[in-house]
């Protein structure tokens, strides 16, 4: 399926059917892989360009594979194990197995994603990756390892020049994984390995550029809203936290998140109220109060 106004989209995300907002969608390798052909089983690697637009904040638990995400365009935020990250073109995330994430309030968000399993390389090759101190922590699975690396899987931010270079590598991997030939799949596997090593080197020598300050500040505001939506929060109060004027904050928030601050808070409150309606027998008035509606 192709998106008419966005070129080269491989996957358009739609909300999983039958799941509530507080439920988790379990994702196994078979959900991300291309097929069950012998060559795909031997080379568990899948690259696709994904598109998210106004989809719900339903978490996805990656059970048995890793994911390399590179933001290509659009707006939104990303939540990993209840930690919110802002998004900007050029952001690189390396997600280890046994973690849960979701794309939040996405607006025309386009992601280049590479999914791969542990058995893509042999033990000796993995030893090489684990020997790189700026990469190894991001390969460790599970929430405990996520906490240990600072509650993030954000590997770095690509400058426009580096992003162009990485996109050329991704295009080559795409070309090499389409034909059903051994030689080209070997080349794609080697190219992904080199890309991971290159990203680790850029992180080590601080070649990655600084993330946009606005995006980082908005991530802190979103985390604050997530923890305090039941309180009465004003746009002026949030603007003061960012040390900008109310009008400037409104413009920044709307541009980065894709909706005004009041709409974002209302969405959080409605989600919480929906959860309480399902899980409790509280009176409606109490649910409204606990959810921040006055």
pLDDT band at 43 (very low <50, low <70, confident <90, very high): very high
Distance of alpha carbon 65 from alpha carbon 67, whole angstroms:
7
Q: What is the pLDDT of residue 22?
A: 67
Is the pLDDT reported for residue 238 higher than 50?
yes
CA 126 from chain centre, in angstroms, equals: 24
Residue 179 CB coordination number (10 Å)? 11
> Who wins on pLDDT, 17 or 143?
143
**CB-CB contact of 112 with 103 (8 Å):** no
> Who wins on pLDDT, 223 or 110?
110
**CB-CB contact of 1 with 14 (8 Å):** no
Region of poorest pLDDT, from 56-70, 80-94, 210-224, 273-287: 210-224
Q: Cα-flanking dihedrals φ and ψ of residue 128, to 5°? A: -65, -40
Q: What is the pLDDT of residue 257?
A: 74
Is the pLDDT reported for residue 214 higher than 60?
no
pTM of the model: 0.74
Give the residue-averaged pLDDT of 162-170. Answer: 94
Domain residues of the chain, as ranges?
11-204, 213-290
Q: Which residue has the tokens 């900008």?
A: 244
Out of 2.30.300.10, 2.60.120.280, 1.10.10.10, 3.55.50.30, the CATH code matching 11-204 is: 2.60.120.280
**CB-CB contact of 9 with 110 (8 Å):** yes
> Who wins on pLDDT, 104 or 94?
94
Tokens, residue 202:
């850029």
Look up the CATH superfamily of 213-290.
Homeodomain-like (1.10.10.60)
How far CA 41 is from CA of 30, 65, 67, 186, in Å, comes to 10, 13, 17, 13
Could you tell me which of 105, 104, 109 has the C-alpha nearest to residue 88?
Answer: 109
Region of poorest pLDDT, from 16-30, 206-220, 266-280: 206-220
Residue 66 CB coordination number (10 Å)? 20
**For 176-188, how does the pLDDT look when each residue is reduced to its tens digit (9 = 90+)?**
998 889 999 999 9
Q: What is the pLDDT of residue 6?
A: 38
When the pLDDT of each residue in the chain is averaged and rounded to a whole number, the result is 87
**For 105-164, how does the pLDDT look when each residue is reduced to its tens digit (9 = 90+)?**
888 899 999 999 999 999 999 999 999 999 999 999 999 999 999 999 999 999 888 999
């Amino acid at each position: 399926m192709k998106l008419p106004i966005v070129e080269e989209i491989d996957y358009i995300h739609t909300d999983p059917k039958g799941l509530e907002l507080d439920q988790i969608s379990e994702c196994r390798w078979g959900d991300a892989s291309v097929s069950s052909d012998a060559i795909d089983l031997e080379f568990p690697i899948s690259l696709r360009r994904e598109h998210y637009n106004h989809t719900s904040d339903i978490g996805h638990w990656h059970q048995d594979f890793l994911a390399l995400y590179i933001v290509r365009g659009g707006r939104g935020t990303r939540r990993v194990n209840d930690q919110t990250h802002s998004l900007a073109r050029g952001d690189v995330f390396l997600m280890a197995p046994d973690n849960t994430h979701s794309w939040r309030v996405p607006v025309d968000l386009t992601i280049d994603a590479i999914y791969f399993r542990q058995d893509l390389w042999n033990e000796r090759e993995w030893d090489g990756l684990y020997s790189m101190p700026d990469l190894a922590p991001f390969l460790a699975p599970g929430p405990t390892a996520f906490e240990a690396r600072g509650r993030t899987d954000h590997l770095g931010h690509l400058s426009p020049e580096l992003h162009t270079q990485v996109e050329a590598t991704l295009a080559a991997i795409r070309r090499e994984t389409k034909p059903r030939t051994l030689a080209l799949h070997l080349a794609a596997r080697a190219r992904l390995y080199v890309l991971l090593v290159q990203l680790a080197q850029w992180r080590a020598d601080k070649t990655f550029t600084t993330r946009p300050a606005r995006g980082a500040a908005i991530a802190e505001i979103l985390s604050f809203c997530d923890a305090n939506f039941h309180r009465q929060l004003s746009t002026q109060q949030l603007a003061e936290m960012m040390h900008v004027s109310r009008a400037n904050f409104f413009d920044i928030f709307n541009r980065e998140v894709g909706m005004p601050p009041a709409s974002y808070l209302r969405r959080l409150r409605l989600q919480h109220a929906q959860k309480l309606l399902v899980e409790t027998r509280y009176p409606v008035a109490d649910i409204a109060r606990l959810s921040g509606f006055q």
